[in-house]
Structure 1
């Protein structure tokens, strides 16, 4: 039971800080201004880690690699601690691969959450500044689906289809992870 509690607390902390690192990476890539409430929150959570990593991890084009490395290091720490608590010192080589899977899963979960917020804001607060930021972050992922799917009765179904695709991707990722660890 103690292992489950520690695992849960580590997952929540890693998801919050690692997700903020991934959001920072993506917001910088999309050149979303950080003067909005989302941007200020992301900076407040990630500055301590990302600014230290920038001293040794350079950016690659428009990609802030320090944010990506920060998210990966958080996942690596999470899985490393859990591996130690489980007593699995012999096969510690799997931990970096688990961290990669965890990072991809975190990105899928983050985009899923972003799409849900996007859908709710589009129904309730379509003109808010927060809505504009979320729309700008979701638009590149929704664009391919919007080109294929027509509006149905004036309703855009592309977020729903993308949510289904993301859930399928999460299932495939979990299956791939399980098959690799056997």
Structure 2
């Protein structure tokens, strides 16, 4: 029981922080202004949550083009810490080699979950007329994966089903990722 409680708490904290690191990475990749002057409260929240780990990593990890490698490595390190602590709490059962593999899969799982959450929020916000900065940011983050789907999937009765199609694709990706993770761990 204690292991389950600690596992849950670790998953929530590291999931929140590593998700914020991935959101920082994606927002910077999409060139969404995140400074206090931009009026983007989501950007300010992401900076507040991630500056403590991303800024020191930036000193040693330069960006590669538009890709903020420090944010990506920060997300990986947080996942690595989570699985490392869980491995220790489980009595160091199994091989230590599985921890970095699980951390890599954890980052991918966080990316899929984060995009899923953004698509759901985007769909809900599209039903109501809102002129908030957060709605604009969410729309800019979700639009790139929706564009190719919208090219293939026409409007049905005037309704855009591309968010639903993207959610199905993300769920399929999560299933495939789960099977790849199980296969990778079985191989060792």
Q: Does TM, normalized by the shorter one, top 0.5?
A: yes
RMSD value, Cα: 1.0
1:67 shift after superposition: 0.3
Q: Which moved more, 1:119-128 or 1:6-15?
A: 119-128
Q: Structure 1 residue aligned with 2:173, among 165, 169, 176?
A: 169
| Cα distance in 2, alignment partners of residues 82 and 129 from structure 1 | 38
1:94 shift after superposition: 1.1
| Cα distance in 2, alignment partners of residues 85 and 94 from structure 1 | 15
Match in the other structure for 2:158 = 154
Q: Which runs of 5+ in 2 are unaligned?
A: none
Match in the other structure for 1:84 = 88
String of CA shifts for 1:59-98, please: whole Å, max 9, x gaps.
Answer: 1011110000000000000000001111125510111111
Structure 1 segments of 4+ aligned residues over 3 angstroms from their partners: none
String of CA shifts for 1:123-181, please: whole Å, max 9, x gaps.
Answer: 12443221111111001110110000111111110000000110111011111111222
Match in the other structure for 2:131 = 127
Count, aligned residues: 182
Give me the TM-score of the superposition, normalised by structure 1: 0.97
1:96 equivalenced with 2:100 (yes/no): yes
Distance 1:85 1:32, change over 3 A: same
1:110 equivalenced with 2:119 (yes/no): no
